[in-house]
Each structure stands twice: as C-alpha cells, then as structure tokens.
Amino acid sequence: MTTPAAPEPAPPTSPVPLAALLARRDLGLRLLAGPGDVPLHWVHASEMADPYPYLLGGELLLTAGVQLTDPARFVERVVEAGAAALGFGVTPVYDTVPAALVDACERLGLPLIEVPPETPFTAVARALWRLMAEARLHELRRVSEAQQSLATAAARPAPVPAVLGALASRLGGRAVLFGPGPDGGTESAAAGREIPPEAARALADLAGVVGPRPGGPASASGDGGGLRLAAYALGGGDGMTLGIATEGRAPGDHTVAGVAVVLLSLLTAPHRTADVTARDTALVRLLLGAPVAEAAASLSPGPWTVVHARGGDGTPFAAAALATALGTDLVDPGATVRLLLPGSGAVTVQPGWTLGVSAPAEPAALAAADAQAARALRRAEATRTPLVRHRTNGLAGLVDPAEAATYARVLLAPLTGPQAETLRTWLSLHGSWDRTAVAMDIHRNTVRQRIARIAALLDRDLDDPDVRMELWFALGSAQAEAQGQGQGQGR
C-alpha cells in the first residue's frame, strides 16, 4: 500500500496556544496528556476511523470516538497527519476518555484534552476562532506600530543606527549590519542587547551565507547560542547584510524585518544623488502620514505613476524585488504593496504579482492616482488579470465637463457614496455578481440586494445597455469633479 504524502506545513496564520483555550473556564476543558503549550492553527471535527486524509496539520481535532476501535493506531495516524492536539468529547459514546487513548497520546506526545458533555464542539471551535481573531488583530497592531517606529527612525539625522535600534527594540533582540569583508562579513553597526559570543559568531557566519555571492539566497535562518538567528541581504548592491538575533520568533517578525530591510537598503545604497535622497525623504514623510501636497514638495515635477500590487513569494524581500523590477526605490511594503514610479510608468506584467496602474499624474494629484491604482488592482483581481491600467475618459472627454458634472449630480443624487461605488464596480465588471463580490469583498447576495435597491432609487432598468452607458458616464463625470475639487483644496 502506498503511504500518503506528508501533510503540508500550516500556513502563516496567527496561531493560538492550547493553553489559551484551556484557560477558558466556560468551556471546562481538561488536559489529560501531552504538553499544553502547542500552537493551534484551526479546529476540525471528525468521526472517521482514520482522519489522516482529512487533516492539514496544526489543527485541534475533535472527536467523540464513534468509530474508535484501535486507540493506539488512531493516535499514530493523527500524529502522522501533523495535528497539534486531540480533543475527546465524553458522551454519548463514552462516559470517560478511554485509558488506552490517554496512554497512546502520552507516549507519542500528543496533547489530549477532555471536552465535557455540556460543551458542544461548536463552542470550542467558536472560542478558538475568536482567540485567533484577537491574535491576528494584535499582530496587525504590532506590525503597524513597528512600521511607524522604523519610518520615524529613518527620518532622523543618523538614520541607520536609529533604524537598527528601533528594529532591535521591536523584536526584543539584537540587530547587526554587516558590511563586505574578506571573511564574508564585518560588523559595521549594531544595536540592542548584547548576545553570547557563540551567537555572535553564528550570526556572522549566517550573514556570510547571504552575502554578495552570485546566486546566493536573499535570506537565511538558524540557531546559535540558544537564540534564533536570521540574516537578510540588503538591496543596495554593495554586499550589506542585516543580521537579527532574538530569543524566539513571533507572528509578524518577518514583516517587520522586511520593512527594516527596505529602509536600510535605501539608506545604505551607494552613489545616492541629491534627487534620490529627496525622493526617499518624500517616501518617509508619506509613511509618517504627511499630507500628500506637503510630501510632494520633495518630488521632482511629474509625471509620476502609482502602482498597487498583491502577490509575491511571501518573503520580506518580495516588495523590494518588485520595486527593482519596475525601476524604482519608492515602495511601501504591506499586504498591498504601493510603488511610486517616475515618468509615465512603463509597467509590465511581473510573474507572481497582480498589478493596478494609475494614469500619469503630477505630484499634487498623487492622491487621485493612488485611488486609480487601487481601483485598477481590484478590477485586476476580480477579472484574474495580471495587470490592469486606469482607463481615461475616451468619448466622455467630448462632453463639456461642467455640464456633465451637473447632470451627473442630478442623476446620481438618490445614491449614497457606498451605493455609487457599488454601481461603479458592478458596471466596470459588466454586471457580474461574482466578480463584483470579489472586488468589493462582500457576498454576491449583498451585491444583488444593493443593485436592486439602486435600480429602485434611480427608477432605471439596469439591464438596458443604454442606461448602463449613461450611468457609467455620469459616474465618471462625478468622479472627475470630486478629484478636481480635492486638488483645488490641496493647493
């Protein structure tokens, strides 16, 4: 018989320690065997005699033992599948957890918890999802605060030591910048608490692995001196490497390190001209939340092109690699990567990425261009197209803008802002319920309800192509007027 392939590793969700679930007194869970500090990535209930084919790894498996005939074999299969823990519900099948099951879990190191009769499996699942949502929110807040701290440090008079210090403080360890040397890497700057000599040597060796060797890896990780080590090659092309030593790794650490890598790559890049420095200053000011008009004063006259992107390989360097491919060093990494390209933006399809591209814009109009790129990206994702550009008005440009805007205000007056945006997205996707739901991150039934309400408010037949065309032009005119008013207020 062919042995099934090993389960894939759990995805980078925000795991919850089993101890946090056990601490919920309302559930009444009791640990019978194994450690109580394992991470849980999700929960799954199954009454299969062999649950192996249905497990992904990292889950809390819940069962009442309906088909439990061989406890030892059952536990072996659960462990082979990579499950994090086993929850056994007593009654209606068993009055107590079988002793053979407890012994097997203890022998194989699989955490076993008893679920009392008054606690349904759905209550356990709901509690775990809530804990995971809280952990995810905590992670997002932590990453956001770290990004702000790193951006602030990059704007200081001595930015490199400041960024290293902020990074070490946020990760609770030591951050070291290695420069090229005959031994593969020479420490040039460091911040954070001191680490044992063994760990320092191991970190330097790890930095040499991701040094300037052709074809070398962009990052590497390992252990040394009782610490978790990681090294990242900077993108300046001069062999600089960032090394990090921490006691452990928490969710979001790679994202925080990725932001530091981008900033340090900009700060240590050789041959930085005054123009590049000014543009980097503008980027930092934008990251700090400065008004676009204020930050735009640091940029050269346009045109500029804004690009929004999602995808990549999940590494901290994905955004930096995309920026290099598009010929810019102005990049804001995140779940949605935002890039600012000088010129009219000769943007091409990038493998593994979905891109939304704005129309060329002057610095004062970058806010409008950013909105254009965001809408283009939503359309690209909804249509599964690797690259979508913002469309210009075309025939609509033949109509007097003031007259068109006046007509649009009257026609669209019954609609709220969210309703107008729903109509715009629905029309742009040719009336597709599913694609509109994907683009707006809502359920397709919600789209149907909104469109039906819009049709009633406007008293128009939205199945009529002439009506759709008229509404599309009206939405475009209203948008152009709003953008013009926004630019006028920003001056």
HSE (CB half, 13 Å, CA atoms) of 246?
17
For 398-490, CATH gives 1.10.10.2840
Average pLDDT of 370-394? 84
| pLDDT attached to residue 283 | 57
pLDDT at 349 over 80: yes
- Mean pLDDT score, 474-486: 73
* Residue spans per domain, the chain: 16-130, 156-268, 274-391, 398-490
Cα–Cα distance between 362 and 369 in angstroms, integer? 9
- Mean pLDDT value across the chain: 82
Question: What is the model's pLDDT at position 387?
Answer: 92
Q: For position 252, what pLDDT does the model report?
A: 81
C-alpha to C-alpha distance for 114 and 29, rounded to whole angstroms: 6
Q: Quote the CA–CA distance of 171 and 71 in Å, as a whole number.
A: 43
Q: Tell me what pLDDT residue 271 has.
A: 45
Confidence at residue 208, expressed as pLDDT on a 0 to 100 scale: 81
CATH of domain 16-130: 3.40.1390.20
Yes or no: say if 191 and 167 are a contact pair by the CB < 8 Å rule: yes
Q: What is the pLDDT of residue 477?
A: 79
| End-to-end Cα, the chain, rounded Å | 74
Q: How far apart are CA 248 and CA 373, in angstroms?
A: 38
pLDDT at 359: 87
Handedness of CA 208, 209, 214, 218 (dihedral sign): negative
Q: Residue 111's pLDDT is what?
A: 97
- Which pLDDT score, from 0 to 100, does residue 13 have? 61
Name the pLDDT band for 321 (thresholds 50, 70, 90): confident
**pLDDT class for 296, splitting at 50, 70, 90?**
low
Give me the pLDDT at residue 486, please. Answer: 56
C-alpha count within 13 angstroms, C-beta hemisphere, residue 298: 18
pLDDT confidence of residue 395 = 57
- What pLDDT is stored for residue 127 in this prediction? 94
Distance CA 353, CA 385 (A): 10
Q: What is the CATH number of domain 156-268?
A: 3.30.450.30
**Range with top average pLDDT, 73-87, 218-232, 301-315:** 73-87
Weakest mean pLDDT among 68-82, 139-153, 312-326? 312-326
Whole-number percent of the chain with pLDDT over 90:
32
As a whole number, mean pLDDT of residues 258-282 equals: 67
452-468 per-position pLDDT tens digit = 999 999 998 998 888 89
Amino acid symbol at 479 = Q
State the average pLDDT over residues 178-202: 76
| Residue 187 pLDDT greater than 80, yes or no | no
Least confident window among 37-46, 239-248, 263-272: 263-272
Residue 342 has pLDDT above 50, yes or no: yes
pTM here is: 0.46
pLDDT for residue 372 is more than 80:
yes
What's residue 348's pLDDT? 87
Is a pLDDT exceeding 90 seen at residue 485? Answer: no
Amino acid 308: pLDDT: 94
Q: Which percentage of the chain shows pLDDT scores above 70?
A: 81
pLDDT of residue 114: 97
Tokens 């590497």 belong to: 220
Task: Give yes or no for a contact between 373 and 308, defined as CB atoms under 8 angstroms apart.
Answer: yes
pLDDT at 394 over 80: no
Q: Does position 2 have pLDDT exceeding 50, yes or no?
A: no
Buried b or exposed e, range 360-386, using 16+ CB within 10 angstroms = bbebbbbbbbbbbbbbbbbbbbbbeee
Query: Is the pLDDT assigned to residue 293 strictly greater than 80?
Result: no
Q: Is the pLDDT of residue 262 over 90?
A: no
**Res. 128: pLDDT tops 80:** yes
